[in-house]
Amino acid sequence: MGAGKSTVGRCLAQRLGRAFVDLDAEIEQRAQTTVARIFERDGEPAFRALERDTLAQQLDARACVIATGGGAVLDPVSRDRLRECADVVHLHAGVDAQLRRLEGDATRPLLARGDRAAVLHALALQRAPLYREVASMSIDTDMLDADAVVDRILASLPRTEPLPP
């Protein structure tokens, strides 16, 4: 959360000439409701199942840039599919940067649990080993703008020709 996945993903897709998919937006479109409402109504396990299925469909459908939700790595099936099918970039942001970027954002269900800093620390501890398991590269975004992050990604990716969106 707040690492820049959506912003960087859009910029990267544009520079690669590929389609961009924000997985949370895709889930909301398919479910005809918000991620927060899915969490509230059906719970996190139901959301994660929907996330896993939507991610699999996107990975199968086309060559694109996908901004997953931060918790997509929690599902072992999703981790396997990401490792098999994608160049995964872990965008890391420290808690202070996350808090700055998410200030005033009330749309994040996991941050509605109380102390935002404590929640972000706990999520990082839980997810960091899972990101290491699937990511081919990790970039600290604390002090970088989106263009600088994209430059680093492009410098590390194998050269590919742009694909039609």
* Domains of the chain listed by start with CATH number: 5-151 (3.40.50.300)
Amino acid identity, position 149: V
Question: Which residues does the annotation place in the binding site for substrate?
Answer: 24, 48, 70, 127
Q: Is 63 helix (H, G, I), strand (E, B) or coil?
A: coil
Q: Read off the pLDDT of each residue in 60-85 and give the average, rounded to a whole number.
A: 91
Are 44 and 113 contacting, i.e. CB atoms less than 8 angstroms apart? no
Question: Which residues does the annotation place in the binding site?
Answer: 2-7, 24, 48, 70, 108, 127
Q: Read off the pLDDT of each residue in 71-75 and give the average, rounded to a whole number.
A: 93
Q: Read off the pLDDT of each residue in 53-77 and give the average, rounded to a whole number.
A: 91
Whose CA is closest to 135, among 68, 56, 43, 40? 68
Question: Which residues does the annotation place in the binding site for ATP?
Answer: 2-7, 108
Partnered with residue 109 across adjacent β-strands are: none
Per-residue pLDDT at 163? 47
Question: Which residues does the annotation place in the binding site for Mg(2+)?
Answer: 6
Q: Read off the pLDDT of each residue in 103-117 and give the average, rounded to a whole number.
A: 82
Q: Which of 42-68 are b and which e, b meaning 16 or more Cβ less than 10 Å from the residue's Cβ? A: eeeeebbebbbebbeebbeeeebbbbb
Sign of CA dihedral 19, 107, 149, 78: negative
Per-residue pLDDT at 22? 95
Confidence of residue 159 (pLDDT cuts 50, 70, 90): low
Per-residue pLDDT at 161? 54
